[in-house]
């Protein structure tokens, strides 16, 4: 009788197959474990961030008469008034609503000249923002003989120099007489830093 050949073991019963399986499983667990830890860390980080209250940058409250420094610029509002017309009698600008006129001083504490313009100033009432009227601002700074000392129109202010004048806003009468009005002043044309001055 012919001797039967040795029965061949199925591949899943061989030792090397299980070594490969163990390696694959260990790798998968390690990978998932890392992701879980990462996700957990991320979640913990978000949880910590959410639970820890943010420190709100409390800005100082400024009012008329205060010296306000914003970057290298320095501002001081001296008074406000309302009117329907500004400028010399021969060449007046008339408001669509009411002109709010802000008298102020500006000083450059920096090392380079700054081009000062009425666009540096914005009127704030709650969430609303009002732009200055460039033409009315120029007229408000014009004398009866037509001369202008400080126009607040693209005017260079050298380091250490100071200028005074008026910035004008054309707004409704209700806005002009609001008790919550503020004027925003800034470092320069791009306004990287700002401060608000209460006008009432």
Domain count, the chain: 2
Residues 19 and 68 in one domain: no
**192 falls in which pLDDT band (50, 70, 90)?**
confident
Residues 82 and 153 in one domain: yes
Residues 132 and 89 in one domain: yes
Regarding pTM above 0.75, the answer is no
Strand order in the sheet with 194-198: 62-63, 194-198, 182-186, 122-125, 128-131
Residue found under tokens 């205060």 = 66
For the stretch 22-73, pLDDT in tens is 677 666 565 555 454 444 454 454 444 444 444 445 578 899 999 999 999 9
**175 falls in which pLDDT band (50, 70, 90)?**
very high
The helix/strand/coil state of 27 is: helix
Question: Is the Cβ–Cβ distance between 73 and 42 less than 8 Å?
Answer: no
Residues 79 and 167 in one domain: yes
Using the predicted structure, report yes or no on whether residue 105 has a pLDDT greater than 70.
yes
Residue 25 in domain:
yes
Residues 117 and 88 in one domain: yes
H helices of 90-181, in order, are 134-140, 173-176
Q: What is the CATH number of the domain that holds 73?
A: 2.60.40.1240
CA distance 191 to 3: 98
Mean pLDDT of all residues in 113-138: 95
Element (H, E) at 116: strand 114-116
Residue 27 in domain:
yes
What percent of the chain is modeled with pLDDT above 70?
71
What percent of the chain is modeled with pLDDT above 90?
58
Identify the domain containing residue 28 by its residue range: 14-45
Mean pLDDT of all residues in 149-175: 94
For the stretch 106-117, pLDDT in tens is 999 999 999 999
Residue 39's pLDDT is what? 47
Residue 14's pLDDT is what? 59
Residue 172's pLDDT is what? 97
């Amino acid at each position: 009788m012919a001797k039967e050949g040795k029965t061949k073991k199925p591949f899943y019963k061989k030792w090397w197959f299980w070594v490969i399986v163990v390696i694959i499983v260990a790798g998968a667990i390690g990978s998932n474990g890392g992701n879980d830890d990462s996700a957990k860390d991320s979640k913990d980080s978000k949880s910590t961030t959410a639970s820890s209250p943010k420190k709100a940058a409390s800005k100082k409250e400024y009012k008329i008469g205060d010296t306000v420094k914003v970057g290298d610029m320095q501002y001081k509002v001296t008074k406000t008034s309302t009117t329907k017309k500004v400028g010399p009698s021969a060449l007046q600008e008339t408001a669509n609503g009411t002109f709010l006129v802000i008298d102020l001083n500006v000083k450059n504490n920096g090392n380079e000249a700054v081009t000062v313009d009425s666009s540096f100033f914005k009127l704030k009432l709650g969430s609303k923002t009002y732009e200055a009227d460039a033409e009315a601002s120029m007229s408000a700074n014009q004398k009866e003989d037509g001369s202008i000392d400080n126009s607040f129109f693209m005017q260079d202010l050298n380091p250490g120099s100071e200028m005074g004048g008026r910035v004008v806003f054309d707004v409704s009468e209700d806005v002009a007489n609001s008790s919550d009005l503020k004027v925003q002043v800034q470092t320069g044309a791009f306004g990287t830093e700002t401060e608000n001055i209460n006008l009432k």
